[in-house]
Amino acid sequence: MRGQYGWHGKSRTEMEGKRLKRPLAYITAAWCGEPGTDTEMGTRYSRMAYEAGFSPVCPVLYMPLFLNDSVPEEHKAGIDMRRDLLRRSHVLVVCGGDVDEDVKNDIAVAGRLGIAATTLDGILAVKGLGKDGGGH
């Protein structure tokens, strides 16, 4: 019987800790709504988070491929899926210079869930990858 402990007597948290070499970082930004631009920026932000040691989670890169945001049920499903992904993440990373209502909502949800929120610039500065650190 598996239950709370895995096959080897280790808790689920212990087993997940061994699998996750890089903490999950949920990527949020004030996306412009233009698919090409959002994809380009999401890719860039995700790459920078990856280079800083995180496993980026960036829904804007793939959810538009299968969800139609103009269909109310699919719009709601997208919100629910993004919230679930945020819940599973270790940190919320706010990217770009603007903050819109979606970003404010992500920050509020992260706060309620006890998930740290920071900026991509802050992560890059700490890791020495920022503008003054020779990185991007």
Strand runs labelled E in 5-59: 24-29, 55-57
How crowded is residue 112: how many other Cβ atoms within 10 Å of its Cβ?
Answer: 8
Q: Which residues pair with 117 in a beta bridge?
A: 92
Residue 86 resides in a domain: yes
How crowded is residue 31: how many other Cβ atoms within 10 Å of its Cβ?
Answer: 20
How high is the pLDDT of residue 1? Answer: 41
Full residue range of the structural domain in which residue 62 is found: 22-127
| Reported pTM | 0.80
Residue 80 resides in a domain: yes
CATH number at residue 30: 3.40.50.450
**pLDDT averaged over the chain?**
87
Look up residue 90 and give its amino acid: H
Residue 49 resides in a domain: yes
pLDDT tens for each residue of 32-85 = 999 999 999 999 999 999 999 999 999 999 999 999 999 999 999 999 999 999
Count of domains forming the chain:
1
